[in-house]
Amino acid sequence: MAVDSSIMTVVTVLYLIVILLLAYIGYCKTKKAEDYMVAGRRINPLVLALSYGATFISTSAIVGFGGTAAYLGMGLLWLTVLNIGIGILIAFVVFGKKTREIGHRLNAVTFPDLLGKCYNSSFLRDASAVIIMIGMPLYTAAILIGGARFIETTLNMSYNTALIGFAVIVAAYVIIGGLIAVMYTDALQGSLMAIGMTILLVLTYVKLGGISAAHESLSMLSGNVSEGLRAAGHTGWISMPTMGSSIWYTLVTTIVLGVGIGVLAQPQLIVRFMTVKSDRSLNRAVLVGGPFILLMTGVAFTVGALTNVYFYNSTGEMSLAAAGGNIDSIIPTYINSAMPDIFIVIFMLVLLSAAMSTLSSLFHTMGTAVGHDLLNRGGDTKNSLMKSQMATVIMIVASVLVAYVLPGGIIARATAMFMGLCASALLPSFVMALYSKRPSKLAAKASLVTGAAIWFAWTAFVHVKEAEPLGISQAIFGKSALLEFPWVVVDPLVLALPLSTLVLVGIWIIEKRTPATQASEDVAVPALALEEEI
């Protein structure tokens, strides 16, 4: 179904004008480096909630994981449960309040800056910034691909033009307006996403004859699972895969646990807790953030699975085949095939909003990590602004280059990879920084190095989804993965996070039993103790 290009153009231009207007307001309010880094620590709780949710939910969730739900089924809804329970309730109530409190007290302006000041350690600041610099372009590139693919399909534009134009527009307001501009535009984009996804759910059920009829039809399609998928554990689109099968391991360890736990250590999300004035603001934000995440992920995963009913009824093929074998093309193909013209325009804005909100946050996080934490060495924020802006440009270019070399169907996997890396390397030391009265600098260093090293080793030599295309194991040992099933389908996080946690706890216990004179140089200046000094 073709959409009138003039309508699409007018709507897109109006949308961009509003976005740039909000970005200009953010620019006008950005008077100093602290405004650029943490939005002046005075963001409204509603803006925080929508910004957090819009940053969390990107084209990765809608296009990447929506397509994955079309392939694997509604078992992905367990990720929605973790997203709300961990990504909202625990993140805001448990971690958010301590992060805000300590971040304000120590005047931290980035996640690496927070970690470095909690432990009084330049190593932890630099190491966490390097993880962001190396790992985040992969996630950023995946978001770029998701947005560019839909623009390519919907506007009949070349992929290269869509990709570069997309990056340039987002870069413009991030570089100029900083986090205030990012969060203001996020709030609008999050609102559009909520409206669009609600309409998508309603139209999908109407298209398929109602809720009961749609789910009954999906259940009846279980007999259409291919022999290859059935052998791998696929049991249909309304049930979990066979426990212990390769698909089960992928769904549970990589998608549900990798993303569900990984959200707690996402630098671009953590910094938002330092943008509000009080715990009361965080409490208010939960009331908006929880329903927002439920709506966004629940609709994406449900509609993704139900696309199989539509494509089977209309083409006789399942979703993946109808989309040419590319998981990332399933949702765009469904929207353009099944939805009315006016909704295609609306959904284009939804995907633009989802991609731009997450991209802007990732661009900002990479730029400040490299500019403030690495180039400015965490020094006076007055000297960080220009360095952060220059670093943002460099990291944007790097992300676009990565997007050109990534294979198809990579969006969901790249997201899970980055979140798994952050959880494995950063989560244990982050938790200790927030809650230990005597955080151990040595334990935090060892935990970060252990988590990152094991994650990288498992990714390169064992987890076949990454090890095979990387080719490192093949080049060195003559085989794509060093271990056999089930290890080749177990996500790196499952091993790396427990071991990095054990290392941290073990060293911390040993130091507690060591005389203070011997351990003093490895114990950080306690963040909690600073309150008494101040």
Question: In this predicted model, what pLDDT tens digit does every residue of 444-481 receive, in sequence order?
Answer: 999 999 999 999 999 999 999 888 888 889 899 999 89
Q: What is the mean pLDDT of residues 168-178?
A: 83
For the chain, what's the residue count? 534
> 523 - beta bridge partners?
440
**Taking Cα atoms as reference points, which of 215, 217, 220, 245 lies closest to residue 230?**
245
Q: Is residue 241 within 8 Å of 233, Cβ to Cβ?
A: yes
Q: 3-class DSSP state for residue 380?
A: coil
Range of lowest pLDDT (204-213, 309-318, 412-421, 426-435): 412-421
For residues 152 and 520, which has the higher predicted lDDT (pLDDT)?
152
Place of tokens 């291919």: 226
Q: What is the DSSP string of 174-212?
A: HHHHHHHHHHHHHHHHHHHHHHHHHHHHHHHHHHTTSHH
Q: Which residues of 97-130 are buried (b: 16+ CB within 10 A; e: fewer)?
A: bbbbbbbbebebbbbbbbbbbbbbbeebbbbbbb
Range of lowest pLDDT (16-30, 68-82, 122-136, 370-384): 370-384
- Report the number of distinct structural domains present in the chain: 1
In a domain, 168, yes or no: yes
pLDDT digits (tens, 9 = 90+) for 270-322: 988 888 888 888 888 888 888 888 888 899 999 999 999 999 999 999 999 99
- What confidence score (pLDDT) does residue 381 get? 64
**With bands split at pLDDT 50, 70 and 90, how would you rate the model's confidence at 154?**
low
Residue 517 has pLDDT above 50, yes or no: no
> Cβ–Cβ contacts within 10 Å for residue 69, how many?
31
- What confidence score (pLDDT) does residue 515 get? 67
- What confidence score (pLDDT) does residue 173 get? 80
Q: What is the mean pLDDT of residues 401-428?
A: 83
- Domain boundaries, position 115: 5-421
Highest mean pLDDT among 152-161, 239-248, 380-389: 239-248
> Cβ–Cβ contacts within 10 Å for residue 216, how many?
14
- What confidence score (pLDDT) does residue 409 get? 61
Angle at 365 between CA 360 and CA 371, to 5 degrees: 120
Range of lowest pLDDT (104-108, 249-253, 472-476, 523-527): 523-527
Q: What is the mean pLDDT of residues 221-230?
A: 89
Which tokens belong to 514? 């060591």
For residues 182 and 530, which has the higher predicted lDDT (pLDDT)?
182
Q: Is residue 59 within 8 Å of 328, Cβ to Cβ?
A: no
Q: What is the mean pLDDT of residues 488-501?
A: 94
Range of lowest pLDDT (108-112, 136-140, 195-199, 325-329): 325-329
Q: What is the mean pLDDT of residues 323-341?
A: 87
Tell me the C-alpha distance between 496 and 347, whole Å.
38
CA dist 232 to 155, 242, 319, 344, Å? 37, 8, 18, 35
The DSSP call for residue 226 is -
**Taking Cα atoms as reference points, which of 436, 379, 521 lies closest to residue 33?**
379
Range of lowest pLDDT (259-263, 300-304, 393-397): 259-263
In a domain, 458, yes or no: no
Question: Mean pLDDT for the chain?
Answer: 85
Residue 490 has pLDDT above 90, yes or no: yes
- What confidence score (pLDDT) does residue 101 get? 92
Q: What is the mean pLDDT of residues 129-155?
A: 83
Q: What is the mean pLDDT of residues 190-214?
A: 93
Whichever domain contains 82, its CATH number is 1.20.1730.10
**With bands split at pLDDT 50, 70 and 90, how would you rate the model's confidence at 5?**
low
In a domain, 485, yes or no: no
- What confidence score (pLDDT) does residue 522 get? 57
- What confidence score (pLDDT) does residue 286 get? 82
In a domain, 355, yes or no: yes
> 440 - beta bridge partners?
523
Phi, psi of 408 (to 5 degrees): -70, 160
pTM: 0.85
Tell me the C-alpha distance between 87 and 132, whole Å.
19
- What confidence score (pLDDT) does residue 531 get? 40
Tell me the C-alpha distance between 404 and 398, whole Å.
10
In a domain, 9, yes or no: yes
Q: What is the mean pLDDT of residues 87-102?
A: 86
Q: What is the mean pLDDT of residues 491-517?
A: 88
Residue 24 has pLDDT above 60, yes or no: yes
Tell me the C-alpha distance between 424 and 9, whole Å.
44
For residues 496 and 187, which has the higher predicted lDDT (pLDDT)?
496
In a domain, 428, yes or no: no
Place of tokens 């399909």: 153
Residue 516 has pLDDT above 70, yes or no: no
Range of lowest pLDDT (86-95, 161-170, 235-244): 86-95
Give the list of residues 6+ apart from residue 339 with CB closer than 8 angstroms, or none. Answer: 1, 200, 203, 347
Highest mean pLDDT among 136-145, 411-420, 453-462, 467-476: 453-462
Q: Which residues of 492-503 are buried (b: 16+ CB within 10 A; e: fewer)?
A: bbbbbbebbbeb
Tell me the C-alpha distance between 117 and 378, whole Å.
9
Considering just the CA atoms, what is the radius of gyration of the chain in Å?
23
- What confidence score (pLDDT) does residue 12 get? 80
In a domain, 510, yes or no: no
Residue 495 has pLDDT above 70, yes or no: yes
Q: 3-class DSSP state for residue 340?
A: coil
Residue 356 has pLDDT above 50, yes or no: yes
- What confidence score (pLDDT) does residue 528 get? 46
- What confidence score (pLDDT) does residue 447 get? 97
Q: Is residue 69 within 8 Å of 305, Cβ to Cβ?
A: yes
Residue 532 has pLDDT above 50, yes or no: no
Give the list of residues 6+ apart from residue 338 with CB closer than 8 angstroms, or none. Answer: 204, 207, 307, 310, 314
- What confidence score (pLDDT) does residue 382 get? 65
Residue 58 has pLDDT above 70, yes or no: yes
In a domain, 73, yes or no: yes
Residue 518 has pLDDT above 70, yes or no: no
Tell me the C-alpha distance between 131 and 248, whole Å.
29
Give percent of the chain with pLDDT exceeding 90. Answer: 36
**Taking Cα atoms as reference points, which of 427, 404, 394 lies closest to residue 499?**
427
- What confidence score (pLDDT) does residue 534 get? 31
